[in-house]
Amino acid sequence: MAFYDLNVKIGHGIKLPSAASIYTAEACAVLAALEYIEYSNVEKWIIVTDSMSVLEALSNPCHNAKTNYIIFQIKEKYHKLCNMGRDIILFWTPSHVGVVGNEEADTLAKLITNTSDVVPVKKIKISYTDCSTLLKELMKKKWLDHWQESIQTKGKWYHQINHGIGKPWFTKGTYKNRKFYSYISRLRIGHGRFNEHLHRMNMITSPSCSFCNQANQSLHHIFFECSIFSLQRLILIEDLLQVYKEPEVIPRSLPDLLKNENCFVALYKFLVTTKEEI
């Protein structure tokens, strides 16, 4: 965190705890600039910042439990200085547009960040929002570590499709119907009403394909091998060409197809015209 006084051409900065967010650092910079103004004899000031989010928070008269506590400190300090006769304007500028003071402050802040062994860390309270973000990252890391350990014994099919944590696929795009989401979810986890899986669960006596009786009825067999579905497979290829454009780039495995959400409708269409349920 740093600020720069163009009048005397001197910069000031401090290092914040690693848990502090960029937003907190930007708010601290504004607060530090106000504290600097308090001990100056100059009455008129313009504080230029590239943090639109901080300025919006300061201009918002309504706050809640999620409001960063530094925003309250800035407001308190600002009103105190105004009562002391200081004329202070908070001004926004786009970042990295050649504003001398802004560029100097950014350079100083980066220098402080990269010299962690020299510059002491200022002890500040970590805000609720920063703590929440930190905890989410820690939980995500712990979950990923557990995920990497567990795939050695289970979940290998799903791991071929998804390697991390992200926004759920079903929150994207437009809603279709319940069956669509049910079928795609079952394909992604590799569990469903196909004979190979049902036999593994001891629910039926044979894993053989009930349509062609030529191989085990796995998901791969249904989509790529079963001779009964040759015509529907041609239609599937035509639908996939709308996504991949060239035949040679179409994936030859179901997990690879399931990595691309644009393939979901084509895969669903194939299921309802062949197996009918999964």
Note the pLDDT of residue 117: 62
Radius of gyration of the chain (CA): 30
Note the pLDDT of residue 244: 95
pLDDT single digits (tens) 112-168: 777 756 566 777 888 888 888 888 888 988 988 888 888 878 888 988 998 877 788
Report the 3 state secondary structure along the chain: CEEEECCCCEEEECECCCCCCHHHHHHHHHHHHHHHHHCCCCCEEEEEECCHHHHHHHHCCCCCCCCCHHHHHHHHHHHHHHHCCCEEEEEECCCCCCCHHHHHHHHHHHHHHCCCCCCCECCCCCCHHHHHHHHHHHHHHHHHHHHHHHCCCCCHHHHHHCCCCCCCHHHCCCCCCHHHHHHHHHHHHCCCCCHHHHHHCCCCCCCECCCCCCCECCHHHHHHHCHHHHHHHHHHHHHHHHHHCCHHHCCCCHHHHHCCHHHHHHHHHHHHCCCCCC
Note the pLDDT of residue 258: 95
Do 207 and 199 meet the contact criterion of CB atoms below 8 Å apart?
Answer: yes
Structure tokens at 199: 């036999």
Note the pLDDT of residue 116: 59
Collect all residues with Cβ–Cβ distance below 8 Å to 275 and sequence separation of at least 6. Answer: 193, 194, 222
Query: How much is the pTM?
Result: 0.63
- Is the pLDDT at 178 greater than 70, yes or no? yes
Q: How far apart are the first and last CA of the chain?
A: 56
Residue 273: HSE in the Cβ half-sphere, 13 Å Cα cutoff: 15
Spatial CA neighbour of 74 closest among 119, 138, 134, 127: 127
Say what percent of the chain tops pLDDT 70. Answer: 96
pLDDT single digits (tens) 209-253: 999 999 999 999 999 999 999 999 999 999 999 999 999 999 999
Q: Which domains does the chain have, with CATH numbers?
A: 2-132 (3.30.420.10), 169-272 (no CATH)
Note the pLDDT of residue 65: 77
pLDDT single digits (tens) 84-128: 999 999 989 887 666 777 778 878 887 877 775 656 677 788 888
Name the residue with higher pLDDT: 7 or 182. 182
Confidence of residue 58 (pLDDT cuts 50, 70, 90): very high
Say what percent of the chain tops pLDDT 90. Answer: 53
Note the pLDDT of residue 113: 74
Q: In whole numbers, what is the pLDDT of the chain averaged over residues?
A: 88
Note the pLDDT of residue 127: 85
